[in-house]
Amino acid sequence: MKEQIEHLNKVITTLSAKTNEEVEALRIQYLSKKGEISELFNEFRNVPNDQKREVGQLLNKLRDSAQNKINDLKAALTDNNNNTEKIDLTRTPDTFPLGTRHPLSLVQNEIFDIFGRLGFVAAEGPEIEDDWHVFGALNFPPEHPARDMQDTFFIERNPDILLRTHTSSVQTRVMTTQKPPIRILCPGRVYRNEAISARAHCFFHQVEGLYIDKNVSFADLKQALLYFAKEMFGEQTEIRLRPSYFPFTEPSAEMDISCNLCGGKGCSFCKNTGWVEILGCGMVDPNVLENCGIDSKIYSGYAFGMGIERITNLKYQVKDLRMFSENDTRFLNQFQ
Ligand code: PHE
> Where in the chain are the domains?
2-86, 103-335
User: Tens-digit pLDDT profile for the chain (336 aa)?
Assistant: 888 888 888 888 888 888 888 888 888 998 888 888 888 888 888 888 888 888 889 889 989 988 998 888 888 887 665 555 677 888 888 888 888 999 999 999 999 999 999 999 999 999 999 999 999 999 999 888 888 877 899 999 989 999 999 999 999 999 999 999 999 999 999 999 999 998 899 999 999 999 999 999 999 999 999 999 999 999 999 999 999 999 999 999 999 999 988 888 998 888 999 999 999 999 999 999 999 999 999 999 999 999 999 999 989 988 899 999 999 999 999 987
End-to-end CA, the chain: 80
Residue closest by Cα to atom 2 of ligand 1 = 305
Q: Give domain 103-335's CATH superfamily.
A: Bira Bifunctional Protein; Domain 2 (3.30.930.10)
Is the pTM higher than 0.85? Answer: no
303 and 179 Cβ atoms separated by less than 8 Å: no
C-alpha pair distances (Å), 266 with each of 232, 259, 269: 20, 8, 8
For residue 203, the SS3 value is strand
Between CA 154 and CA 245 the distance in angstroms is: 24
Query: Which of 170, 248, 252 is the best mutation target for the ligand 1 pocket, counting ligand atoms within 8 Å of the beta carbon and taking the most?
Result: 248
Residue 103, preceding bond cis, omega within 30 degrees? Answer: no
304 touches ligand 1 (CB under 6 Å): yes
User: Could you tell me whether strands 121-122 and 182-191 are parallel, antiparallel, or unpaired per DSSP bridges?
Assistant: parallel
Between CA 271 and CA 274 the distance in angstroms is: 8
Widest Cα–Cα separation across the chain:
117
303 touches ligand 1 (CB under 6 Å): yes
With a CB cutoff of 8 Å and minimum separation 6, the contacts of 100 are 332, 333, 335, 336
